[in-house]
Structure 1
Amino acid sequence: MFDLTTLGTFVAVVLGLFLIPGPAVLLVVTRTVQGGRKAGILTGLGVAAGDFLHTLGAAVGLSALLMTSALAFTIVKLVGAAYLIYLGVRALLEKPSDPALPKIAAVTPARAFLQAIPAELLNPKTALFFLAFLPQFVHPEHGSTFAQFAVLGLLFVGLSAAYTTLIALSVRPLGRLVKRLSWLSRWQGKIIGSIFIALGLKVATQHR
């Protein structure tokens, strides 16, 4: 279904994105600080569940689109590539953000899990990201597009859950490390911007 190059590229890009702290990571860290490791882990699992629902929606919609028109699917991929490049350029131009944790009321681990799902699911930027990101690794000639979407989605969710769990278990030492690596907050926009632009350009040029 997937060749090793495509799968390896997907995993590398996902891991690269995970290394740059985003809203989901900040939410996991905050819940861990406020409610302990269990609350942090369940928050991460809630975020992963929300991501899986986004993946499922993208798989159903884009697979149906492919069955209707291969040209339309190609257009979606190119528009997605343009969107990733746009995100990359915007990230490159963004000023470093304040690394302070957001103020969130403490909750039980179960409630932290339940609140993380809609928080991720109802984020329109996340939905747009999945619609732009996943199709770049789907190739109709390699078999069922729905199956490809499902495999990529489950892989993304599994990596996300493992990563956020690791964060929840390592908040204190990570906190000390982040303070020492203050340059990361200054360069995170440049790093993630470069990843988005590289992925977008790769897709935009591989059809030529």
Structure 2
Amino acid sequence: MPDFATYLAFLAAVLAYQLSGPGPDMLLVMSRGVGQGRRAALSTALGCVAAGVIQIPLLALGLASLVASSPVAYEVLRWAGAAYLICLGVGLLLPRRNAAHVESVVDPTPGVAWGSAFRQGMVCNLTNPTVLTFMLAILPQFVDPSSGPAGLQLLVLGATMKGTGLLTLGSVALASGAVGGWLSRHSRLLGWQ
């Protein structure tokens, strides 16, 4: 495993990346929190983090380098992610057939399908090529072949990255859920729309 100083440098790089600005994952978690409450946002955040179960083995097997080295593969993944986010956005804008979901956007609905939120978070993260590219660019830099099996080190570093992602997105989920709750209690302030 990397020494403690190297591990701290890795943590700093990962946190700088995760806090550098809202990406698709963070925006999806925020919209879930404001529109559907903390539970939906936390479920979405868990889905984003669970994508690591697929990404980390891809990285260890070297398949992530295919996406990073092939402009066509990168663009296909990028456009698939964009199309998925557009579909999610359109789905939020279209009227629902089920009357139980016609409530205000800021009124947290108790009937949110947590599995659906989890899946959407996972697909959002998996179709974001910058996540895979970042993992490919950063994780191998902190692997020391003299310190043990490279695959195990990648697993530990990848799990660390996803763990910090859970803390980051979890915090965003809780904060946006609180904002959504406040907006639902003060909905009269939204009358100016």
Same fold (TM over 0.5): yes
Q: What residue is the counterpart of 2:50 in the other structure?
A: 49
Q: Are residues 1:136 and 2:170 paired? A: no
- CA distance in 2 between partners of 1:38 and 1:172 (Å): 8
Deviation of the 1:51 alpha carbon: 3.0
AA in 1 matched with 2:13: V
Q: Are residues 1:7 and 2:12 paired? A: no
Change (3 A) 1:174 1:17: farther
Structure 2's unaligned 5+ residue stretches are: 70-87, 93-104, 106-111, 181-193
1:60-112: CA deviation from partner (whole Å, max 9, x where unpaired): 328xxxxxxxxxxxxx8xx99xxxxxxxxxxxxxxxxxxxxx94628532201
Quick check: 1:40–1:109 contact (8 Å CA) kept in 2? Answer: no
Q: What secondary structure is seen at the aligned counterpart in 2 of 1:169?
A: helix
Q: What residue is the counterpart of 2:29 in the other structure?
A: 28
AA in 2 matched with 1:11: L
Q: Are residues 1:108 and 2:113 paired? A: yes
Q: What secondary structure is seen at the aligned counterpart in 2 of 1:170?
A: helix
Deviation of the 1:173 alpha carbon: 6.9
Structure 1's unaligned 5+ residue stretches are: 63-75, 81-101, 176-208
Q: Are residues 1:19 and 2:19 paired? A: yes
- CA distance in 2 between partners of 1:144 and 1:24 (Å): 31
Deviation of the 1:162 alpha carbon: 1.7
AA in 2 matched with 1:139: D
- CA distance in 1 between partners of 2:172 and 2:52 (Å): 18
- CA distance in 1 between partners of 2:124 and 2:40 (Å): 15
Quick check: 1:47–1:116 contact (8 Å CA) kept in 2? Answer: yes
Aligned residues: 139
Q: What residue is the counterpart of 1:59 in the other structure?
A: 60
Change (3 A) 1:174 1:137: farther
- CA distance in 1 between partners of 2:41 and 2:30 (Å): 7
Q: Are residues 1:152 and 2:153 paired? A: no
Quick check: 1:32–1:40 contact (8 Å CA) kept in 2? Answer: yes
Q: What residue is the counterpart of 1:190 in the other structure?
A: none
CA RMSD of aligned residues (A): 2.6
- CA distance in 2 between partners of 1:52 and 1:23 (Å): 19
Quick check: 2:33–2:177 contact (8 Å CA) kept in 1? Answer: no
Deviation of the 1:123 alpha carbon: 2.8
AA in 1 matched with 2:130: K
Deviation of the 1:127 alpha carbon: 2.2
Deviation of the 1:172 alpha carbon: 6.4
Q: Are residues 1:127 and 2:128 paired? A: no
TM-score normalised to the size of structure 1? 0.59
1:149-194: CA deviation from partner (whole Å, max 9, x where unpaired): 000011111111122111111126789xxxxxxxxxxxxxxxxxxx
AA in 1 matched with 2:18: F
Q: What residue is the counterpart of 2:190 in the other structure?
A: none
Q: What secondary structure is seen at the aligned counterpart in 1 of 2:122?
A: helix
Q: What secondary structure is seen at the aligned counterpart in 2 of 1:2?
A: coil
- CA distance in 2 between partners of 1:16 and 1:55 (Å): 20
